[in-house]
A and B are shown apart, each in its own frame.
Chain A
Amino acid sequence: MAYALQQLINGISLGMIYGLIAVGYTMVYGIIGMINFAHGDIFMIGAFLSLIFLLLVTAGGLDGAAAILLVLVLSMAFTALYGWTVERIAYRPLRGSFRLAPLISAIGMSIVLQNYVQVSQGARVKPMEPLVRGGITVMRDGDFAVQLSTMQMLIVAVTLSVLAVFTWLVTRTPLGRAMRACEQDRRMASLLGIDTDRTISITFVIGAALASVAGTMYLLRYGVIDFYIGFLVGVKAFTAAVLGGIGSLPGAVLGGLLIGLIETFWSAYFSVQYKDVAAFSILVLTLVLMPTGLLGRAEVEKV
């Protein structure tokens, strides 16, 4: 019981990270109908930028909450620039082109980003000393103490507040309205005077910013990053987006939580080795049995 509670806590904090990235996948898919294959690598870039800014900020003498906040803001801004550039270089010229072209371009971009970071930052893993320590003991069951670490609380708090701001952005502002209009019907939206190119750019920027938050959280939680983390985390986040129903923003977060929980519980009770197999199997099963996901809309083909 206590063990399960501990896994629940771990799973939720991991799931939050997946959820943040999944939002980026689902937004881009919703608006231009493509899988942004490079999104996982944008997350990786976010993690690296966070590491660099963290080292800068701590060298500058800052500490604690102020340092983390500054790192969050800085890496969001710079990662967003990467998101914008990727869209501008690799996707925009292919808008309205054949369906496979943007996909291959995205795969190419993913290779570019990975190897760019490998070249510029080196292939070795970057270990970092934990910045956030401590925590509270929620419950004690014999020898087993259920820990809720400060780090986990931080992840949940940051994710929830970022998502709150994001939800406000999408539901309450003209920008969000433009995004939803483009999602419904891009041609109609542009006829109504919405600058669709700009809206799509902003979608990528927001998606990248969220992925950067996930990158910061990942860095703080695991303390080890390398240039290859984007692929696996990206695929899992995509799984989360699909599980929640691609195109659905609450679905992405829900899917992220589920994937995080499933992964944690699978590792805890079955086998750590096959935890990724579990994630991929869930992806396959979801798509095959429930192609619209949990909160997605059904697509009916007209004849």
Chain B
Amino acid sequence: MTAPAARPALAPALRDAALAALIALGLFLPLVGLRTDVGPGGGLFLRTRWPDVALLVGVVFLGRLAARLWQDWRAARRGASLPKRLAGPLSRSGRLVAPLLLAFALLLPVIPGIGRYELDLGILVLTYVMLGWGLNIVVGLAGLLDLGYVAFYAVGAYSYALLAQAFGLSFWICLPLAGLLAAFWGILLGFPVLRLRGDYLAIVTLAFGEIIRLVLLNWVSLTGGPNGISGIPRPSFFGLSFSAGGGPGSFADAFGLEPSPTHRVVFLYYLILALALLTNWVTLRLRRQPLGRAWEAMREDEVACRSLGINITTTKLTAFALGAMFGGFAGAFFATRQAFISPESFTFIESAIILAIVVLGGLGSQLGVAIAALGLIGGFEVFRDLQEWRMLVFGGAMVLIMIWKPRGLVGSRTPSVALGQRRTISASMVAEGRG
């Protein structure tokens, strides 16, 4: 508060920071200070990097000291903290965020200065928004913790690639087929795990995701193994192709445009935007229907659901199937966009990122998921200069956001129906499910 009060607090803060620095020294001394390198003879040797250690320890010392002093200062100063004071205006302006984001997403390709790179980034972000929304059905609404969501993404991608290559089917026929196949796998996974709860469910879904990936990796005759599948047909605009040279039957020719590779990118951008919005639309509608309400009720209390005659089995399976279906759509889109897929794109880390988007955004919140996807994936791309450091920053950000906001950015819940005015329900009352 004032200088005399701050003075005695400095000593414990210094002691605390020194302790933190000591621990940091213990952590960094061997692993950072001594680097193992492969020598010319093939043997390993150690290279010392003491300045790096000193730098890190110094950073920890100062960081901890600053954090402590900041905490003390804030504890001394009564009154609402900054986030609390901002909460009111933020929630009021929150109503505007969704339409603004949507308008921005719709207009992105025509905004001047938006080039190929920005559109590609937009496609990437929207893919994750769609995956997040798909997983949100399973985790956010039904409360079923799924750590293997990428399996359905993979099923969708490989389904499209194989169907398109083997039978020459067009994207528009393959897309629903890929979704259906993914939904089928969702049900297949759903059946055995119906009785499992919480972390056990998470682990089984993780294992399932890995099994799918390992099968894709090892079933070389079908999937090409680690080499993946290349030359996947690109999508057409209702039969008009996006060939670079233009020519008869191409998109540019039909509309009398100059052939440009940007056409395809813009088309892909609107395609994924439409797919994502479809996911959102179906989810929002279902939330206001008995099925969606049953999902949320199941998340709140499975036992009570059973006592009301709700069939838990089918309710869980529909959630798995629908979530998987949207994952499959996204997978088919991914395959057609990349024209090349390999098991490397479907590792556990992808599942973890999608789940992180859902949890960081706020379970069950469509807007939160979109913002989290934009922040995480966009941020991840923006920091591409950090190279190998950026995964480190990414993981650290996951930890920090969880500590800062354990219920995610938008933790509150909007009721699906109301007699009078709809009031949001604070996160502290909403259960997160045990399944």
Contacts and interface: CB of A to CB of B under 8 A. Distances in A.
Given A53-B30, A85-B27, A104-B402, A283 B397 contact: no
B312 interface: no
B282 interface: no
A160 B203 CA distance: 28
A169 interface: no
Contacts of B396: 108, 112
A119 B355 contact: no
Nearest to B303: A303
Contacts of A98: 406-407, 432
B123 interface: no
Interface in A36-72: 45, 48-49, 51-53, 55-56, 59
Contact of A109 (B211, B360, B399): B399
B261 interface: no
B395 A110 contact: yes
Interface stretch (A10-18, A126-134, A179-187, A250-258): A126-134
A51 B389 CA distance: 23
A141 interface: no
B395 A283 contact: no
Given A123-B388, A129-B43, A280-B207, A108 B397 contact: yes
Contacts of B432: 98-100
A242 interface: yes
Contacts of A284: 192, 204, 207-208, 211
B196 interface: yes
Nearest to A241: B203
A28 to B, nearest CB: 11
B348 interface: yes
A136 interface: no
A293 to B, nearest CB: 10
A34 B202 CA distance: 11
Given A235-B207, A283-B203, A49 B30 contact: yes
Interface string B388-416: 11011011111100110011000000000
B27 A55 contact: no
B348 A118 contact: no
A122 B46 CA distance: 12
Interface string B365-376: 000000000000
B184 to A, nearest CB: 18
Contacts of A112: 392, 395-396, 399
Which interface residue of A99, A114, A119, A123 has the most chain B CB atoms within 10 A?
A: A99
A5 to B, nearest CB: 28
Contacts of B349: 111
Nearest to A289: B192
A114 B398 CA distance: 14
B36 A121 contact: yes
A197 B283 CA distance: 41
A280 B434 CA distance: 23
A137 interface: no
A108 B398 contact: yes
A202 interface: no
Interface stretch (A150-158, A170-178, A203-211, A269-277): A269-277
B168 interface: no
Contacts, number: 181
Contacts of B322: none
Contact of B31 (A34, A121, A242, A277): A121
B240 to A, nearest CB: 43
Contact of A274 (B35, B44, B214, B360): B214
A280 B193 CA distance: 14
Nearest to B31: A120
Contact of B27 (A81, A109, A114, A242): A81
Given A273-B218, A283-B203, A301-B303, A115 B44 contact: no
Contact of A108 (B38, B214, B356): B356
Contact of A276 (B26, B31, B214): B214
Contacts of A103: 145, 199, 202
Contact of B398 (A34, A56, A111): A111
Interface string A243-285: 0000000000000000000000000000001101100110110
B131 to A, nearest CB: 16
B193 A45 contact: no
Contacts of B398: 104-105, 107-108, 111
Interface in B184-216: 192-193, 195-196, 198-200, 202-204, 206-208, 210-211, 214-215
A105 to B, nearest CB: 4
Nearest to A288: B192
A238 B214 contact: no
Nearest to B389: A119
A33 B197 CA distance: 13
Given A100-B432, A120-B31, A283 B402 contact: no
B89 interface: no
Contact of B44 (A105, A111, A128): A128
A34 B303 contact: no
Contacts of B402: 94, 101-102, 104-105, 108
A251 B68 CA distance: 43
Given A93-B403, A126-B38, A274-B214, A283 B356 contact: no
Contacts of B32: 120
A51 B36 contact: yes
A52 B26 contact: no
23 contacts: A35-B202, A48-B36, A49-B31, A52-B36, A52-B46, A53-B30, A55-B36, A55-B45, A56-B46, A97-B406, A102-B402, A110-B395, A117-B31, A121-B36, A122-B35, A122-B37, A127-B42, A242-B203, A274-B214, A284-B207, A287-B200, A287-B203, A301-B303
Interface of A: 29, 33-35, 45, 48-49, 51-53, 55-56, 59, 78, 81-82, 85, 89-90, 93-94, 97-105, 107-124, 126-129, 231, 235, 238-239, 242, 273-274, 276-277, 280-281, 283-284, 287-288, 291, 301, 303
- The 4 lowest CB-CB distance pairs between A and B, nearest first, are A108-B398, A111-B395, A101-B406, A112-B395
